[in-house]
């Protein structure tokens, strides 16, 4: 068991010695090992080993919850890699309401490895110093069980990033063990409806590893991030056409979050393109197929590496922004007439083999995604989809060989 990160530093006194979970809904009453909690002896509804152990976490309670948010049950959101660079943008966006809206309080569960404990402590102080009305509390820890207990949303960022000259799949060997452990933790401790977004690279295959290790959870609960690629593609199109990026809709990213990904504008449109009616296909607006095929596609495919070459660090703020968009659309729903790209468990749509985590165009309603059906794929796009499929199959084989 890893060392506790920090002792309880209870700001309001609200949590000390009290079980933070409500009674009613668990199993094996009376088997809870949690010491000194506020539920009547023998009536604790949680399974042994399923409690948040407060000695392994630093819980802080925001001192200024608003009247509006008091009436809504907080959502528990885990961010792993919490002392890293993506998390440093992400958790402030979550706590300020950008992910779940202005009325949804959040409890942030933050996990990093022991050597990052001091840095994580600093991040928690900064969260506290923001006085976000929606931030109900923070559980910062280096203990996996404490981090995963009862979470509703898991954003798995914690992993090694690539440096200049590396491919994302070069990270597979070093990162696969992280997602194996975290898949097991999801299976054991998370809420059964937990929505999982894997960001750490290679994101698709890490998501598959976590899914395989969380065999009690539905595969549809798992996803990997390709929204950053979609945002990059839409931004490049907006610049080329000379419209606001919000007018660019339904660009698709197929396949792997890697150099083989397939940016596809063939089903996208420009909304309210000046003087040309309500919508126009992107291809017509761009009016330059050579640019679309020979420049745009490789620019999107290589954007991550281009940022690394410039910053000597991989994209962070733009990744956090994409994570917020992905989770928000998944839970709150996509707009009418619009689809977004999410890497999800393939059901065989578009002849992609079942059982890969593959980026598809999806719409979301009531917290469930569905793959947009019936899009016509031209032969050039199909060839690229075949290549990214092959890469994902190879990654899957490698990852599974590490698991055995
Ligand atoms: N899918 C996507 O679109 C994108 C994915 N990424 C990937 O996201 C990952 C994180 O990137 P950054 O935040 O820039 O990296 P970073 O190195 O700044 O932060 C990673 C954090 O994860 C922590 N960590 C390592 N092992 C852990 C474990 N077992 N449990 C919890 N935390 C652990 C590290 O201590 C570190 O604090 C990388 O794999 C990167 O390649 C980055 C950008 C976009
Ligand atoms: O390129 C990387 O290694 C980081 C990443 O996934 C991205 O920026 O898309």
142 C-beta closer than 6 A to ligand 2: no
Name, of 78-92, 123-137, 170-184, 265-279, the range with top average pLDDT: 78-92
User: pLDDT tens digit string along 9-45?
Assistant: 222 222 333 444 434 333 343 444 444 444 444 445 4
What digits encode the pLDDT tens for the residues 43-94? 454 544 455 555 565 443 333 333 344 567 889 999 999 999 999 999 999 9
Catalytic residue of the set 257, 267, 326, 339: 257
Q: Counting ligands in written order, which one lies closest to the CA of residue 165? A: 2
Residues paired with residue 357 on neighbouring β-strands, in sequence order: 345
Distance from Cα 201 to the centre of ligand 1, integer Å? 8
For ligand 2, what atom is nearest to the CA of residue 305?
A: 1
Residues with CB under 6 A from ligand 1: 80-81, 83-86, 111-113, 116, 157-162, 178, 199-201, 203, 225, 228, 257, 314-316, 319
CA 30 to chain centre: 35
Does 314 contact ligand 2 (Cβ within 6 A)? yes
Smallest-distance ligand from the CA of 301:
2
Q: What is the mean pLDDT of the chain?
A: 85
160 lines ligand 2 (CB under 6 A): no
Which atom of ligand 2 is least distant from the CA of 161? Answer: 3
Please answer whether residues 321 and 94 qualify as being in contact, where contact means their C-beta atoms are separated by less than 8 angstroms. Answer: no
Distance from the alpha carbon of residue 84 to the mean position of ligand 1, in angstroms: 6
Q: Are strands 135-141 and 106-111 parallel, antiparallel or unpaired?
A: parallel
- Relative to the CA of 257, which ligand 1 atom is closest? 1
Question: What is the CA(225)–ligand 2 centre distance, in A?
Answer: 10
Token readout for 40 is: 């009547």
Indicate if 257 belongs to the active site.
yes
The model's pTM is 0.87
Q: Which ligand is nearest to the CA of 80?
A: 1
Residue 41 alpha carbon to ligand 2 centre in Å: 50
Which tokens go with 338?
Answer: 């619009």
From the CA of 255, how far away is ligand 1's center (Å)?
Answer: 21
Per-residue model confidence (pLDDT) at position 234: 98
What's the pLDDT tens digit per position in 383-398?
Answer: 999 999 999 999 999 9
Residues 6+ apart with CB under 8 A from 234: 245, 248, 249, 251
| Whole-complex ipTM | 0.99
Residues β-bridged to residue 358 = 344
324-340 burial, b for 16+ CB within 10 Å, e for fewer?
Answer: bbbbbbbbeebeeeebb
Q: Indicate whether residue 232 lines ligand 2 (CB < 6 A).
A: no
């Amino acid at each position: 068991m890893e060392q506790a990160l920090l002792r309880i530093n209870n700001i309001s006194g609200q949590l000390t010695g009290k079980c933070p979970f409500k009674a009613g809904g668990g199993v094996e009453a009376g088997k809870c090992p949690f010491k000194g909690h506020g539920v009547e002896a023998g009536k604790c509804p949680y399974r042994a080993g399923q409690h948040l152990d407060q000695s392994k976490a630093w819980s802080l309670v925001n001192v200024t919850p608003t009247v509006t948010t008091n009436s809504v049950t907080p959502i528990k959101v885990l961010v792993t890699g919490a002392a890293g660079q993506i998390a440093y943008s992400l958790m402030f966006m979550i706590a300020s309401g950008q992910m779940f809206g202005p009325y949804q309080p959040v409890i942030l569960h933050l996990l990093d490895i022991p050597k990052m404990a001091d840095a994580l402590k600093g991040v928690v102080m900064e969260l506290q110093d923001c006085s976000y009305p929606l931030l109900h509390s923070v559980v910062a820890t280096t203990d996996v069980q404490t981090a995963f207990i009862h979470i509703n949303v898991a954003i798995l960022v914690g992993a090694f990033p690539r440096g200049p000259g590396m491919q994302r799949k070069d990270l597979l060997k070093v990162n696969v063990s992280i997602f194996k452990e975290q898949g097991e933790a999801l299976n054991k401790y998370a809420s059964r409806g937990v929505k999982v977004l894997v960001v750490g690279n290679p994101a698709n295959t890490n998501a598959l590893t976590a899914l395989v290790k969380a065999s009690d959870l539905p595969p549809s609960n798992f996803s990997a991030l390709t929204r950053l690629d979609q945002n990059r593609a839409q931004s490049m199109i907006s610049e080329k056409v000379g419209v606001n990026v919000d007018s660019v809709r339904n660009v698709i990213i197929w396949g792997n979050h890697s150099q083989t990904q397939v940016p596809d504008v063939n089903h996208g449109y420009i909304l309210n393109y000046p003087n040309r009616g309500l919508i126009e296909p992107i291809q017509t607006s761009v009016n330059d197929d050579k640019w679309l095929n020979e420049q745009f596609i490789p620019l999107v495919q290589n954007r991550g590496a281009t940022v690394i070459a410039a910053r000597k660090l991989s994209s962070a703020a733009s990744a956090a922004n994409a994570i917020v968009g992905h989770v928000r659309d998944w839970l709150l729903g996509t707009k009418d007439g619009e689809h977004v790209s999410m890497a999800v468990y393939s059901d065989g749509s578009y002849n992609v083999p079942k059982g890969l985590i593959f980026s598809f165009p999806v719409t979301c309603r009531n917290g469930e995604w569905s793959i947009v059906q019936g899009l016509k794929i031209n032969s050039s796009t199909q060839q690229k989809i075949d290549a990214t499929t092959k890469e994902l199959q190879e990654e899957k084989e490698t990852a599974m060989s590490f698991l055995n």
